[in-house]
Structure 1
Amino acid sequence: MSWMRGLLAVLVAGALLGGSTGCGSGGGHEQRGGVTASPVGKVLAGTDEEGRHYREVDRKDAPEVAVEVQPGARDDWQVRLTVRNFRLSPAGTPPAAVTGHGVVRLFLDGRPLIWLRTTEYRLPGELIPRGTHQLTARLHADDRTVWAVQGKPVESTADITASAAEGTANPGGTG
């Protein structure tokens, strides 16, 4: 019987020691100023114009994006994104950086427009006044850090030229 008490003591001690080493924050998920300190890439001190930190990844593993804009049939613009090494995360995805996953932030003339979880978007014509404008698609991780290569955000820009005056532009209020 004493051997059973010894075995029981060993099992309890092992469970206690194993439980304490298995608990904790797990360094890969700790927060650093609201940004996930994930084992994915390296969070840089630099930020974009919105104050979102860059998450540096190697060029060979980096996601890519291309943006194409065509006039639509109803006084709008059809935006199509092509992504490589990247998957758009569905709504409700936890705010953590996962290799090759995230969302796209569209900017019109440098102003934030909308967050996208799809590769197609209809840009209302009333947001584009007469003249030439730039639409930029920038890739973000789900924790909203900006995917970056060599300190520069992973993004693509396309020009939009509207020939008719079509109301006022206020893209900052839509996204």
Structure 2
Amino acid sequence: MSWTRTLLAALAVCVLLLSGAVGCDSGAAREQEDGVSSSPVGEVLDDTDDEGRHYREAGEGDAPEVGIEVQPDPAGGWDVRLTLRGFRLTPAGTKARAVAGHGLAYLFLDDRLVARLRTPEYRLAQGLVPRGTHQVTVRLYADDGTVWAVDGDPVESTAALTASEAETTATSAPGSNPSRTALSAPGARSRTGGQGSPDRAGKAS
């Protein structure tokens, strides 16, 4: 009868394994439905950005910082440069999961998303910036789409830029020098959990 007991034990193990697999599949389905990974990195908060992406609280030792500098390009448009501390931009094709200190940066012009950045430099086309003063904001996201946050606030940086009427046209007259101003350090504001700017000498967070 020993072979009977062995067979019954083997069948019980199979049932347990199958039940575990079903449980895992159900959990994965819930994660996919919520659109937020169950990564143990940071706590996913109830707060969201304007598009409904949840904030993810960075650990005290993993709090990233970002700074932004916006300067006019002599050839037209605006050069945007990011300063990162405790954060690495990941390449395209990176697995969609949250990893401490990694992810990408979203660039907003007056709260309108204009680019998802995986490099610290970007050229803001002149045609995207109408006449007047505007806010350029960079915000850090994890690769699963959650927003990195510190003390409940998104890790982001904002700089102001002002475009004159001459800059609203596609071309400038020969020899002209349209007035363009960009505020990086003095005119910028940052929210990185009260930790300030990565580089306050000409950059903001």
Instruction: Give the alignment's TM-score, normalised by structure 2.
Output: 0.68
Q: C-alpha distance in 2, partners of 1:22/1:101? A: 30
Paired letter, 1:62: A
Question: Displacement of 1:155 after TM fit?
Answer: 0.2
Could you tell me how far apart the structure 2 residues matched to 1:105 and 1:21 are? 38
TM superposition shift of 1:20: 8.3
Q: Is the 8 A contact 2:72 2:78 kept in 1?
A: yes
Match for residue 105 of structure 1?
106
Structure 2 equivalent of residue 138 of structure 1: 139
Q: Provide the rounded CA distance (Å) in 1 between the counterparts of 2:48 and 2:62.
A: 21
Give the letter aligned to residue 99 of structure 1: A
> What's the RMSD between the two structures over aligned residues?
2.8
Does the aligned pair in 2 maintain the 1:129–1:165 contact within 8 Å? no
Q: Is the CA contact 2:140–2:148 (under 8 Å) kept in the aligned structure 1? A: yes
Report the alpha carbon displacement of residue 36 of structure 1 after superposing the two structures with TM. 0.5
Does the 8 Å CA contact 2:36/2:146 hold for their aligned counterparts? Answer: yes
- Residue in structure 1 matched with residue 174 of structure 2 by the alignment: none
Shift of 1:48: 0.7
Written as runs of structure 1 = structure 2, the 5 A alignment for 1:144-163 is 144-163=145-164
Q: Matches of 1:79 and 1:33 in 2, distance apart?
A: 33
The corresponding residue for 1:94 is: 95
Deviations 1:62-105 (A, max 9, x none): 11100000110211100000111111111111111111110100
Whole-angstrom CA distance in 2 between matches of 1:42 and 1:132: 36
| Cα distance, 1:166 vs structure 2 | 3.4
Distance across 1 between alignment mates of 2:38 and 2:77: 40
Match for residue 62 of structure 2? 61
| C-alpha distance in structure 1 between counterparts of 2:70 and 2:121, whole Å | 10
SS across alignment from 2:127: helix
- Residue aligning to 2:119: 118
Give 1:22 deviation, angstroms.
9.2
Question: 2:121 is matched by which residue type in structure 1?
Answer: E
Unaligned runs of 5+ in 2: 1-8, 170-205
CA contact (8 A) 1:89 1:102 kept: yes
Identity value in percent? 60
Gapped runs of 5+ residues in structure 1? 1-9, 169-175
Structure 1 counterpart of 2:112, one-letter code:
R
* DSSP 3-state at the match of 1:166: helix
CA distance in 2, matches of 1:101, 1:24: 30
Counterpart of 1:6?
A: none
* Residue deviations 1:134-155 (CA, integer Å, cap 9, x gap): 1000000001100001111000
